Every structure is written in structure tokens, then in C-alpha cells.
């Protein structure tokens, strides 16, 4: 039962995606620095990195969409 609850919560998680295309002239250290900055300051995580035969890299980043729910009822005045 606990695993079904956990899997239902995992399916309910929504993500926002960002796609980056890095040219073949981008060094590994520059790419690492760019991805680290996105992770630290934008709360992005690496979802997929694909490298093509011509040397370009397609990077897919994702982050959770945080839904804010109202916790207090309106105050009657």
C-alpha cells in the first residue's frame, strides 16, 4: 500500500523544462559552469544531456513546479 501511495505522489509531481543548445565550441568547463549556475541559482536539475556527432550538446533541465495552496480562510470583518 505504501508503494502505491508513493508512486501516486511521484506521478502528481509537475515539472517545468528548459532546453539549452551548446555549440561544439563550448568547452567542458564552460558547460559545467553554466549548468552549475542554473542548478544553484535557478534550482534546475539535469534531466537529459545529449551529444551529437557534430559536437553540439542538447541539454534538458527540469525543476519542480511549486503550487502554493491557501492555508488560511479569509477573515470575516
* pLDDT given at position 63: 95
CA 72 to chain CA mean position, Å: 30
Above 80 in pLDDT, residue 10? Answer: no
Contact 47, 59 (CB under 8 A): no
Domains of the chain, by residue range, sit at: 13-64
| Average pLDDT of the residues in 33-37 | 96
Give percent of the chain above pLDDT 70: 79
Above 90 in pLDDT, residue 6? Answer: no
| Average pLDDT of the residues in 38-61 | 96
Quote the CA–CA distance of 39 and 33 in Å, as a whole number: 10
Give the global pTM: 0.70
Quote the CA–CA distance of 22 and 13 in Å, as a whole number: 28
Amino acid at each position: 500500500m505504501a508503494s502505491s501511495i508513493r508512486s501516486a505522489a511521484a506521478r502528481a509531481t509537475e515539472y517545468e523544462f528548459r532546453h539549452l543548445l551548446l555549440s561544439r565550441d563550448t568547452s567542458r568547463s564552460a558547460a559545467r559552469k553554466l549548468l552549475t549556475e542554473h542548478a544553484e541559482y535557478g534550482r534546475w536539475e539535469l534531466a537529459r544531456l545529449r551529444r551529437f556527432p557534430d559536437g553540439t550538446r542538447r541539454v534538458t533541465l527540469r525543476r519542480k513546479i511549486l503550487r502554493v495552496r491557501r492555508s488560511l480562510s479569509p477573515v470575516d470583518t
